[in-house]
Chain A
Amino acid sequence: MGMTMTQKILAHAAGLDKVVAGQLIEANLDLVLGNDITSPVAIKEMDKMKVNGVFDKDKIALVPDHFVPNKDIKSAEHCKCVREFARRNEITNYFEVGEMGIEHALLPERGLTVAGDVIIGADSHTCTYGALGAFSTGVGSTDMAAGMATGKAWFKVPSAIKFILTGKPSKWVSGKDVILHIIGMIGVDGALYKSMEFVGDGIANLSMDDRFTIANMAIEAGGKNGIFPVDALAEQYMKEHSTRKYTIYEADEDAVYDETYTIDLSTLRPTVAFPHLPENTHTIDEIHEMDDIVIDQVVIGSCTNGRLDDLRCAAEILKGRKVKKGIRCIVIPATQKIYLQAMEEGLLRTFIEAGAVVSTPTCGPCLGGYMGILAEGERCVSTTNRNFVGRMGHVTSEIYLASPAVAAASAITGKISCPCEL
């Protein structure tokens, strides 16, 4: 019986020739990540441990990104705690405001995540780096603390679901539509405890940014990780962004999967997840059959969809058009580098001229932190990843998850819309 991509990476990290689903292993970690919400709890736990500092100051990444620039005094205290810990332990990869970005966009851009790595992060969307052929998964603060202290973590080796992607997505269909379609199909616990392995010749038609978006939302199907094979495009990305050596793992031909789904990307349509679960998906065609869904706000950004492809797509739609009067459109480039590139390409001008507001990188509104909180009963079309009750503000507010294309088009019309309608 062969191994999946994930199982091969975990076997290697545990120093074993072979692992099977369900086996408990202890793996060496290549990177341990935390942010300004989860790290203070981890630091407090680590202080209680009888250890002398961190296992490797180069293999820890601390990225204050959720409530920065500090939104209030309490957040400022949290960030101060992380900053002082980073200084005390001489953490190489601590990213201050000014050099930071949303963690899951920032780390690949900085070359800190490459194929074959085993990465844990005290943030559920740590699964993003599977786009590069790494095993990466979200954990809590105590696991982060133990990881920082020992450089190891225990895992139950996951079984896997295989998604064979074929064909080429049509003009306004992106990685977001692919993953929303999949979550709609298998449900928010459809991949609980499992790996989601994406394969097939359709992957060649997905940009790296599309793949980051897809891997990012594996957790919204309950997945332990999402992972892509490493092709020429992924190798090119790693060579451009990293000096680290990477290792490519391929699934064995006789690897065992719990389930296999085949998805023809050319048949997918722009897809929107309705409140209050990412599995409540409807295609744009189904939405056209409904009464207009009038909105109050649009958010384009986050670790899911704040990358350059996303901003380019939104700008293409907003160029020469106006955000509808009375609608707030908030655009958040995910990193400083993306922000700068968007400026140089003139995307920021397009957004501002259209009547959108452009923010410094932050997770802010995605989790109802700040920079776009919803009032009672308000509706938002958002390129973020969760539409749970109260996620972006008031408990009666509503979030519709969509691609940057649908979000930008909706900002113009004031209701959930496809760019093809403009």
Chain B
Amino acid sequence: MKNAIGTVFKFGDNVDTDVIIPARYLNSSDPAELATHCMEDIDKDFVKNVKKGDIIVATKNFGCGSSREHAPIAIKAAGVSCVIAETFARIFYRNSINIGLPIVECPEAAKGIDAGDQVEVNFDTGVITNLTKGTTFQGQAFPEFMQKIIAAEGLVNYINAK
């Protein structure tokens, strides 16, 4: 899998799927449309500022609340290449893998990375490098089957390709 490299948007604890994509927009399931409202209720300028390849870093329990797969879909469609957090809510974790959004649990990285830092993530080794601060962190590397799911852009393509 190719490394992710991008500028960091930083969030705190318990970012819930209602702020990632408010339910008032769930009358659509179109990724491009969902992306235009991504993170709207927590950072209304996020969509304006995010560039393709950028990285979200958050502290604990990222993606808690509703099971809406629209949340990782919106993040991915907004151009985000990876989400790093101290911990993820379990349904969000599963959904992200299933739709091919790379996510990495790493408490140290979540603490040692600030908004605006340039960060690189190596998915083969789990190594996260803060290029701005010159620090590295060891995140959990994906097992091979999860890497394949993400590389196939999601579970369905992965199953079909088998």
B1-31 vs A, CB cutoff 8 Å, 1 = contact: the mask equals 0000000000000101011001110111100
Asked if B115 is an interface residue, CB under 8 A from chain A, the answer is: no
Listed residue (A78, A123, A126, A391) with the most chain B CB atoms within 10 angstroms of its CB: A391
Known: A189-B61, A189-B89. A140 touches B95 (CB 8 A): yes
Known: A72-B27, A142-B69, A142-B98. A124 touches B18 (CB 8 A): no
Listed residue (A123, A224, A388) with the most chain B CB atoms within 10 angstroms of its CB: A388
Instruction: Report the contact-size class of chain B (Cβ under 8 Å from the partner).
Output: 35 or more
Report the nearest A residue to B89, measured CB to CB. A222
Asked if B87 is an interface residue, CB under 8 A from chain A, the answer is: yes
A188, B60: Cα distance in complex, Å: 10
Asked if B68 is an interface residue, CB under 8 A from chain A, the answer is: yes
**Chain A proximity of B72: nearest CB distance (Å):** 8
A367, B26: Cα distance in complex, Å: 10
Enumerate chain A residues within 8 angstroms of B27, measured Cβ to Cβ: 67, 71-72, 74-75, 78
Binds B, one of A33-41, A331-339, A412-420: A33-41
Q: Are B156 and A37 in contact (CB under 8 A)?
A: no
Enumerate chain A residues within 8 angstroms of B159, measured Cβ to Cβ: 49, 146
Listed residue (A37, A141, A142, A390) with the most chain B CB atoms within 10 angstroms of its CB: A142
Report the nearest B residue to A72, measured CB to CB. B27
Enumerate chain B residues within 8 angstroms of A45, measured Cβ to Cβ: 154, 156
Interface positions, chain A 107-125, Cβ under 8 Å from B, are: 122-124
Enumerate chain B residues within 8 angstroms of A88, measured Cβ to Cβ: none
**Chain B proximity of A187: nearest CB distance (Å):** 9
Enumerate chain A residues within 8 angstroms of B136, measured Cβ to Cβ: none
Q: Are B156 and A49 in contact (CB under 8 A)?
A: yes
Identify which of A140, A193, A368, A369 contacts B67 (C-beta below 8 A). A140
B147-162 vs A, CB cutoff 8 Å, 1 = contact: the mask equals 0000000111101100
A74, B23: Cα distance in complex, Å: 13
Asked if B66 is an interface residue, CB under 8 A from chain A, the answer is: yes
Listed residue (A49, A75, A122, A192) with the most chain B CB atoms within 10 angstroms of its CB: A192
Q: Are B65 and A41 in contact (CB under 8 A)?
A: no
Asked if A162 is an interface residue, CB under 8 A from chain B, the answer is: no
Asked if B90 is an interface residue, CB under 8 A from chain A, the answer is: yes
Asked if B124 is an interface residue, CB under 8 A from chain A, the answer is: no
Identify which of B22, B66, B69, B90 contacts A41 (C-beta below 8 A). B69
Enumerate chain A residues within 8 angstroms of B32, measured Cβ to Cβ: none
A303, B60: Cα distance in complex, Å: 27
Identify which of A38, A188, A219 contacts B69 (C-beta below 8 A). A38
Enumerate chain B residues within 8 angstroms of A126, measured Cβ to Cβ: 67
Known: A78-B27, A142-B154, A142-B156. A192 touches B90 (CB 8 A): yes
Asked if B70 is an interface residue, CB under 8 A from chain A, the answer is: yes
Asked if A50 is an interface residue, CB under 8 A from chain B, the answer is: yes
**Chain A proximity of B159: nearest CB distance (Å):** 6
Asked if B51 is an interface residue, CB under 8 A from chain A, the answer is: no
Q: Are A124 and B19 in contact (CB under 8 A)?
A: no
Q: Are A38 and B67 in contact (CB under 8 A)?
A: yes
Enumerate chain B residues within 8 angstroms of A151, measured Cβ to Cβ: none
Enumerate chain B residues within 8 angstroms of A72, measured Cβ to Cβ: 27
In the A-B complex, the 9 residue pairs with the closest CB atoms: A140-B95, A74-B27, A142-B98, A140-B69, A367-B23, A189-B61, A390-B41, A124-B67, A141-B69
Interface residues of A (CB under 8 A from B): 37-38, 40-41, 44-45, 48-50, 66-67, 71-72, 74-75, 78, 122-124, 126, 138-143, 145-146, 188-189, 192-193, 219, 222, 224, 277, 367-369, 386, 388-391, 395
8 contacts between A and B (CB under 8 A): A37-B26, A72-B27, A139-B95, A140-B94, A142-B154, A145-B156, A192-B89, A222-B64
Interface residues of B (CB under 8 A from A): 14, 16, 18-19, 22-24, 26-29, 41-42, 60-61, 64-70, 73, 87, 89-91, 94-95, 98-99, 154-157, 159-160
